[in-house]
Structure 1
Amino acid sequence: MDLSLTETQEEFKKVAADFVKAEVPAHQMTQWYKNKQTYQPQLVKKAAEIGWLGMMLPEAYGGSDVSTMDCAVVFEELGRGPVPGPLFTSGILSAQMIFEACTEEQRKALLPPLCSGASIVVPAIADKAAYWGPEAVETRLSKTAGGYIMNGTKRFVFDAQAATSFLCAARSEEGKVVFLLVDAKSPGITITPHVGFFISVAEVRFDKVVVAPTNLLGSSGASWATLETALDKSLPILSAYQVGATQEVFDMTCEYTRTRVVFGQPIGRFQRVQDHCVD
């Protein structure tokens, strides 16, 4: 099997690498992460102009219609920054979820603004800490005369402060997990950033938030199986991003072992240092 990059993929890789060097220099990126200012609107805007938001979607919806491998090449380079912000959460995962779950009318209404960066749709899925799967969804959706009322708390939401809307999982009165879009400015929504080592993560509370029936994804709110289909297409991109980040750390470490001199020789010549690099 030939795993070498195509000419087009090499070009994608170069463009992404140049973007990281120009837009996310190490000193600036360090300050953003230190101050927890990881949502930088100008980065999202430039990424949208290049075509990185929703890039696996068909062109009819504003995407670039590229393959998973093409997209992974780009995100591996973005991970070397690592470039912060909702490029994955909104531009990949939410984009795929909307594509898989929604009606054609909803796709045409929701996906072009997402791909252009005009809307940032952030997933808010699990309520329980340290749980995953349908059982982690505790947010309740109750019927009213004109639509629904939603109550619940999503404890770990990445890029919450960047969201123009949330793609939420909630449990209906029948006990089914459904998915819906909620405007981030709706009354009753409280976003509380986590403290400590968490970066770009917040708790999002929904207190008697009014939701219109048209905000359900698809004709009936889709299902957990729909999310899993979207994840199957999205997680390889997240993995590529993380590979880029770890490769950058490894490269920096190896460079340091070649240039840091102790007792008259580079520390990379010491066996114990070599062991750490290999591990």
Structure 2
Amino acid sequence: MMLNPTDEQLAYKAEVRRYLERSCPLSRTRARLEGPPDHDPDAWAGLARLGAPGLLVPAEFGGAGAGITEAAFVSEELGRVLLPSPYLSSAVLAARLLVLLGDKEANAAHLPGIASGDTVATVAFLDEHGRWDPSHVPVRARRTGDGWRLDGTVPFVTDATAALLLVPAVTADGLGVFAVDGAHAHTEPLDNLDLTQPLARVGLRDAPGKEIRAAGDPRDAMAETVRAALACVTAAQLGGAERCLEMTVEYAKTRVQFGRPIGAYQAIKHKCAEMYTRVQSARSAVHHLLDALETGSPEAAEAAHLAKAYCSQACFACASDTIQVHGGIGFTWEHDAHLYFKRAKASAHLLGDSTHHRAQLARRLAL
């Protein structure tokens, strides 16, 4: 089955694009790259006015109660402009995990702030390969007289300066998820290829945490949260690839060489055609995943692996071809092509690279 977006979903997507093109041009992102790695608070406030941080939050906690399709459409538009924002960390990972765990007290405490954008949250769960592995959780939690204490180091955390950390940890009874005040975490910023997506190593040493009581198995909640995040990461990759295609076609029409636009030459035509094919195939993979998630399809896991494996390669190939078609100027810092190239390379490894997801897909299909 393929996704069939409603008129309301498409209208909301168009409104987000208008806001980002008007208020968050890439020149604004470039200016922020000169400073410390962090999100753009003004742009985040604008997204909050559009209700983006609360899309996955139920209405009873101040959100829109929308589905993963709307969240992915926002991610696609963010991927087009490379906006530094905590959208994936806070609005998708943290919000989705809290809802799935189903702890009413925790939801009442944290979801209203996340929905309004006033609270930025993240989930500290990635292993040394940049993915979630429930068999290798680096944090341990122990019960003490005054609650819970957490110890361990999470190698990669997105938007680690967030006020609220949700931390999966191993307890004496199995896996648990804990809310930790960001002030109790030691954050070490990492040198990241993509400056628009800051990463950090987070250390917890006897850090106090409050257990989020899961209605079911926390491992199931984490697995579904990761699939939702994969939908949004691949949607952002789709947005970046599409923007690369637009930039390349426009340049091929206006750059004249030997008295003709370079787009008139067969080699350039073929590159643009290949980019277009990749973008449309990536869109099909993302929409297939969104439909599987929205309908609760038993094939959702396979669709997630397929989408991440393909979109990672498609986005990187489009970014690479953008640089090649632009020639010398495409290699310069002043041109935007390298920003898309770096985003494509970095996001290809986030939540597992193509090799990992192909292997997981083959395992699930018993190939």
User: Do the structures match in fold with TM over 0.5?
Assistant: yes
Q: What 5-or-longer segments of structure 1 have no aligned partner? A: none
1:178 paired with 2:173, answer no
Match of 1:153 in 2: 153
> Which region of structure 1 is more displaced relative to structure 2, 194-203 or 122-131?
122-131
Alignment of 1:73-152 (within 5 A): 73-129=73-129, 132-152=132-152
Aligned-partner Cα distance in 1 for 2:142–2:190:
28
Contact 1:128 1:136 in 2 (8 A): no
Instruction: Give the direction of change, closer, same or farther, for the CA distance of 1:146–1:4 in structure 2 (3 Å limit).
Output: closer
- For residues 59-106 of structure 1, give each alpha carbon's deviation from its aligned partner in whole angstroms, at most 9, with x where no partner exists: 111111223333333332222112221112101111010011132222
Supply the distance in 2 between the matched residues of 1:19 and 1:131 (Cα, whole angstroms): 32
Q: Which moved more, 1:67-76 or 1:248-257?
A: 67-76
1:178 counterpart letter in structure 2 = G
Q: 1:59 to 1:35 in 2, by over 3 A?
A: same
Between the aligned partners of 1:256 and 1:5, the Cα distance in structure 2 is 31
SS in 2 for 1:232: helix
**Contact preservation (8 Å) 1:47, 1:53:** yes
Tell me the SS of whatever aligns to 1:39: coil
| Secondary structure in structure 2 of the residue aligned to 1:160 | coil
Q: 1:78 to 1:141 in 2, by over 3 A?
A: same
Residues 145-203 of structure 1: CA deviation (Å, up to 9, x unaligned): 21222111111111112x001111111134x22111100012xx211111151431111
Flag the 1:198–1:237 CA change in 2: closer, same or farther, 3 A: closer
Which amino acid counterpart does residue 178 of structure 2 have in structure 1? Answer: L
Distance 1:233 1:127 in 2: 18
Q: Cα–Cα, structure 1 residues 196 and 88, in superposed 2: closer, same or farther, change >3 Å?
A: closer
The aligned residue for residue 191 of structure 2 is 195
Deviates more, 1:35-44 or 1:177-186: 35-44
What amino acid does structure 2 have at the position aligned with 1:164?
A: A
| Larger CA deviation: 122-131 vs 42-51 | 122-131
Could you state the TM-score of these two structures normalised by the residue count of structure 1? Answer: 0.88
Counterpart contact for 2:168–2:178, Cα < 8 Å:
yes
What is the rounded CA distance, in whole Å, between the counterparts of 2:142 and 2:259 in structure 1?
71
In 2, Cα distance between equivalents of 1:119 and 1:198: 24
Q: Which residue of 2 aligns with 1:205?
A: 203
Q: Kindly tell me: are residues 220 and 206 of structure 1, through their superposed partners in 2, closer, same or farther at Cα, counting changes over 3 Å?
A: farther
Provide the residue aligned with 2:226 in structure 1.
231
Q: Give the corresponding residue for 1:275.
A: 270
The aligned counterpart of 2:63 is 63
Match of 1:262 in 2: 257
Residue 46 of structure 1 is matched in structure 2 by 46
Task: Classify the secondary structure of the residue corresponding to 1:136.
Answer: coil
- Amino acid across the alignment from 1:223: P
Percent identity over the alignment is: 26
CA contact (8 A) 2:150 2:207 kept: yes
1:28 Cα offset (Å): 1.3
Per the alignment, in what secondary structure is the counterpart of residue 31 of structure 2? helix
Supply the AA of the counterpart residue of 2:23: E
Residue deviations 1:84-142 (CA, integer Å, cap 9, x gap) = 21112101111010011132222122111111112111110134345631123121112
CA distance in 2, matches of 1:117, 1:140: 30
TM-superposition CA deviations, 1:1-29 (whole Å, max 9, x none): 78564332232122111111122112112
Q: Name the CA distance, whole Å, in 2 between partners of 1:110 and 1:116.
A: 11
Q: Distance in 2 between matches of 1:220 and 1:153?
A: 27
Contact 1:54 1:91 in 2 (8 A): yes
Q: Secondary structure at the match of 2:200?
A: strand
1:246 pairs, out of 241, 245, 254, with: 241
Distance 2:10 2:109 in 1: 33
Residue 66 to residue 194, structure 1, CA distance change in 2 (3 Å): same
SS at match of 2:81: coil
CA, structure 1 residues 67+139, in 2 after alignment: closer, same or farther (shift >3 Å)? Answer: closer
Count of residue correspondences? 272
Query: TM-score, normalization: structure 2?
Result: 0.68
Specify whether residues 146 and 222 from structure 1 end up closer, same or farther in structure 2 by C-alpha distance, changes over 3 A only: farther
